[in-house]
Amino acid sequence: MEITLLLALLLLAGLFWTTAKRIHFNIMNCIGAVMLLAMAILTTYKVSVSGPIHFSMLDNLFYIDEFSVVVLDTILIVSALVCIYAIGYMNHELNHQSVSLNQIRLFYSLTYVFIFTMILVVTTQNLGVMWIAIEATTLASAFLVGFYNSKESIEAAWKYVIICSVGIALALLGIVLLYISAVNVFEGSHSNLNWSFLLENAKRLHSSILKIAFIFILVGFGTKVGLAPMHTWLPDAHSQAPAPISALLSGVLLNSAMYGIIRVLTIVNKNLGNTLYTGRLLIGAGLISITAAAIFILVQKDYKRMLAYSSIEHMGIITFGLGIFTPAAIFASLFHMLNHAFTKSLLFLASGNIYLKYKTREISKVSGIFKMMPVTGVFFLLGLFAIAGMPPFSIFASELNLITAGFAARHPWLASYLVLLIAVVFAGIASIALKMFYSTGLPPRDRDAMKPGEVNFSGIAVMGVLLFLICAGGLYLPSVIKDLLVSAVGIVKGGH
Amino acid sequence: MIENYLHLLSITILITAFMLVANKRVNEYIKTFQLQSLLLAIIAGILGVHHVSQTGDWEILLVAVITVAVKVVYIPYLLRTTVRKVEYKVEKDFFWNIPISILICCGLVLLSYFTITNIEDISDRFVKIFLINSTAVVLIGLFFMISRKKAIGQIIGFLVIENGLFTAAILSTNGMPMIVELGIFFDLLTAVLIMGILVFRINESFESIDIDKLKNLRG
């Protein structure tokens, strides 16, 4: 059933080429969103009722357990909402003749291929196929990043493709090394690249090979996650892509690359028997990323780039939690993955509406959002508070969990440093919010030329849903989700 | 016995990587890449024939055929058409002069030697040598990418990295599972197509394929 839906997505991507009417595009988009949501509900239900889903075909290529479901659900829900948002966004662009119908068709078609590749990353258990899918996400989204065809967006697309492809190539070297260690032990007869197989036999693999493989995989997939210092593609790609794509890139693409790291991390930690080696690497990478992001947020002049650096910060926080690797820290990290996905996509979608209205990405040229677009303004401001870590939003809950877990795991200095960095980021975001909402930097003539009024109504509905999700997540965690997360933590810890 | 031939071939692949660093023109890059891919295909062919005669397993032979079709024939053709269309002018294309580049690459080979010999669990002598050579090819490919200014140079660097990885996979593990190999080929082909199209667009909007000029996005 899931496979059928997965293939139907690809079919849908192809169907966009059979028609040239805007209304057909919109209908097909709605169907796509419904399909994505159906898939989310179906897999979550199946996994929570009867455990992991296997498919025996193709050498057990597909395998979905509770941890996959956590990431898969974020992908599916965010993608479905983004598809709805894109209808309003693209119609607005079309009405203002910023893009042509052909471009929009390419956009929708590639977006569905992009979503398909991300789903593939988290539903396969073959590390080789996972690598292929992660590389395919780069390829599917390259033209989406370069969508506007301006000098800047082409530059961003080029950097994105080159840096990510090379980074990912290093991860392939890591996977080859993993495979060498498996072939060494099992004489090649029944060895394969399925992580469930590698995990089962983790104790028998060679530690020295796994250690170097882990470094290659961390650097490789870390490039895609946006860990500093391999993050340089990320602010460019996120700021130049159209808002729906920025939301997908930041909200779910980074998570699905992180998923790859976590799967390998589980195997390596089980093999080594302790978390000292991977812990040092991950905590180091995480703190460097957060530090770099905090500095760049303070001096940012472009609001979409500011959001992009904030993504680097949050990926750093998740990596930090994985480095600590106690059950509480892993729980906080996974929960943070969910929260970051919803909050950041809300922000990017709201920033898309602001861009449609003001036609600029510069902070200094945006002012008086409340007067121009009251609803979007409120969403954007609340989103900024949420991402900076204010209660009652869910990011606050997961950050608090993570910091307590850090102290509990006897890393008081590192956890305090994390708190300090989060405070710096908060200051940076607050000052930017003040400038965008209350400054009078715009010359009166420009201000009068714009008429107050909202744009993109389907988008506003989507943002309402997202805001509800992040508020609700901060106040109350339903037992279904909590159980899913707890069993996901067990899987990441290496049990079954 | 067969290992000795493979050893020789893996060293020639390393030598082609050095040749690439010494090349000055884009057309030469493409030729060197083609030569390197041909050597890779020969390795896959020898292993493939060996496997067919031993176990009747034809998968590696298929990989050899695909390597010839994709890396020796189609990708070089694609790159040549791209170069012709962007009206490439001959000008200095590298940041450091060639002797220094070659010295740096020698350093990279040493680095790869010391890294791989430090992994104590790789017991097979030949696997060790294969890994040293192919990791060196990967590192040289990376160095090549940062040492050239033209967009085409970066594509070639990426392809050389991929060749190094492929050599590592096929020599030290007798090939990854078939589905993975096919997927990698598919990704590689799509990647080169997309990069080719982006080169056109860069050429259109910047009136050059100099990566140095891509400096709008900072901070």
Determine the residue among B111, B124, B201, B207 to mutate to test chain A binding: the one whose Cβ has the most chain A Cβ atoms within 10 Å: B201
Distance CA A322, CA A269 (A): 11
In terms of pLDDT, which residue wins out, A4 or B39? Answer: B39
Task: Judge: A193–B191 Cβ closer than 8 Å, yes or no.
Answer: no
Length of chain A (residues): 496
**What is residue A194's predicted lDDT score, i.e. its pLDDT?**
86
At A448-473, the pLDDT tens digits run 567 778 888 888 999 999 999 999 98
Of the candidates B121, B177, B202, which has its C-beta nearest A193's C-beta? B177
pLDDT surpassing 60 at residue B59: yes
- What are residue A362's DSSP bridge partners? A302
CA angle A479-A485-A486, nearest 5°?
85
Give how far Cα A177 sits from Cα of A80, A171, A473, B119, Å. 37, 10, 40, 11
**What is residue B119's predicted lDDT score, i.e. its pLDDT?**
84
**What is residue A496's predicted lDDT score, i.e. its pLDDT?**
55
Q: What are phi and psi of A491, to 5 degrees?
A: -65, -40
Of the candidates B142, B194, B198, which has its C-beta nearest A154's C-beta? B198
The list of chain A residues with pLDDT below 50 reads none
Q: Where do runs of H (alpha helix) occur along B59-177? A: 59-67, 75-85, 98-117, 125-147, 151-173
If you count DSSP H runs as helices and E runs as strands, how many of each does chain A have, helices first? 22, 2
Tokens of B173: 């593990």
**What is residue A474's predicted lDDT score, i.e. its pLDDT?**
87
Distance CA B203, CA A294 (A): 35
Task: Provide the number of CB pairs (under 8 Å) joining chain A to chain B.
Answer: 134
Flag whether residue A197 sits within 8 Å of chain B, measured between CB atoms. no
**What is residue A191's predicted lDDT score, i.e. its pLDDT?**
60
Q: What residues of chain B, 127 to 166, have a C-beta less than 8 Å from chain A? A: 127, 131, 135, 138, 142, 145, 151, 154, 158, 161-162, 165
HSE of B91, CA atoms in CB hemisphere, 13 A: 8
CA nearest B174 in A: which residue? A188
Flag whether residue A181 sits within 8 Å of chain B, measured between CB atoms. yes
Determine the residue among A120, A173, A191, A203 to mutate to test chain B binding: the one whose Cβ has the most chain B Cβ atoms within 10 Å: A173
Distance CA A233, CA A224 (A): 9
Taking residues B149-175, report their average pLDDT.
89
Of the candidates B183, B195, B198, which has its C-beta nearest A129's C-beta? B183
**What is residue A60's predicted lDDT score, i.e. its pLDDT?**
73
Of the candidates A129, A146, A239, which has its C-beta nearest B180's C-beta? A129
Which positions in chain B touch A161 (Cβ < 8 Å)? 191, 194-195, 198
Give how far Cα A376 sits from Cα of A144, A246, A353, A370, B157, Å. 24, 17, 7, 8, 45
Which positions in chain B touch A166 (Cβ < 8 Å)? 142, 145, 158, 161
Q: Tokens 């042509």 appear where? A: A100
**What is residue B185's predicted lDDT score, i.e. its pLDDT?**
93
**What is residue A440's predicted lDDT score, i.e. its pLDDT?**
65
Q: Where do runs of H (alpha helix) occur along A146-206? A: 151-186, 195-200
Task: Judge: A154–B219 Cβ closer than 8 Å, yes or no.
Answer: no
Say if residues A324 and A274 touch (Cβ distance below 8 Å). Answer: no
Distance in Å, alpha carbon of B91 to nearest chain A alpha carbon: 22
A67 closest CA partner among A220, A326, A261, A272: A261
ω before A444 within 30° of 0 (cis)?
no
Length of chain B (residues): 219
Flag whether residue A19 sits within 8 Å of chain B, measured between CB atoms. no
Say if residues B182 and A123 touch (Cβ distance below 8 Å). Answer: no
Distance CA A349, CA A89 (A): 9
Determine the residue among A60, A106, A132 to mutate to test chain B binding: the one whose Cβ has the most chain B Cβ atoms within 10 Å: A132
Q: Tokens 């059933």 appear where? A: A1
**What is residue A488's predicted lDDT score, i.e. its pLDDT?**
93
Query: Which residue ranges make up each domain of chain B?
Result: 2-213
Of the candidates B119, B145, B183, which has its C-beta nearest A212's C-beta? B119
Task: Judge: A158–B183 Cβ closer than 8 Å, yes or no.
Answer: no
Residue A19 is given by DSSP the state -
Task: Give the SS3 label for residue A343.
Answer: helix
CA nearest B135 in A: which residue? A173
pLDDT surpassing 60 at residue B125: yes
Of the candidates B158, B186, B187, which has its C-beta nearest A166's C-beta? B158
Task: Judge: A172–B142 Cβ closer than 8 Å, yes or no.
Answer: no
Distance CA A106, CA B158 (A): 26
**What is residue A441's predicted lDDT score, i.e. its pLDDT?**
57
Which positions in chain B touch A212 (Cβ < 8 Å)? 115, 119
Distance in Å, alpha carbon of A355 to nearest chain B alpha carbon: 18
Distance CA A433, CA A485 (A): 33
Q: What is the CA radius of gyration of chain A?
A: 22
Task: Judge: B177–A151 Cβ closer than 8 Å, yes or no.
Answer: no
**What is residue A435's predicted lDDT score, i.e. its pLDDT?**
86
b (16+ CB within 10 A) / e for B200-213: ebbbebbebbebee
Say if residues B149 and B213 touch (Cβ distance below 8 Å). Answer: no
Task: Judge: A212–B115 Cβ closer than 8 Å, yes or no.
Answer: yes
Of the candidates B123, B158, B169, which has its C-beta nearest A162's C-beta? B158
Say if residues A356 and A92 touch (Cβ distance below 8 Å). Answer: yes
pLDDT surpassing 60 at residue B90: no
Of the candidates A151, A181, A193, which has its C-beta nearest B180's C-beta? A193
Of the candidates B123, B214, B219, which has its C-beta nearest A158's C-beta? B214
Of the candidates B119, B142, B179, which has its C-beta nearest A209's C-beta? B119
**What is residue B91's predicted lDDT score, i.e. its pLDDT?**
61
**What is residue B89's predicted lDDT score, i.e. its pLDDT?**
63
Distance in Å, alpha carbon of B54 to nearest chain A alpha carbon: 14
Which positions in chain A touch B119 (Cβ < 8 Å)? 208-209, 212
Which positions in chain B touch A209 (Cβ < 8 Å)? 119, 121-122
Which positions in chain B touch A141 (Cβ < 8 Å)? none
Task: Give the SS3 label for residue B25.
Answer: coil
Say if residues A108 and A79 touch (Cβ distance below 8 Å). Answer: no
CA nearest A145 in B: which residue? B198
Distance CA A401, CA A395 (A): 10
Say if residues A344 and A310 touch (Cβ distance below 8 Å). Answer: yes
Determine the residue among A147, A154, A361 to mutate to test chain B binding: the one whose Cβ has the most chain B Cβ atoms within 10 Å: A154
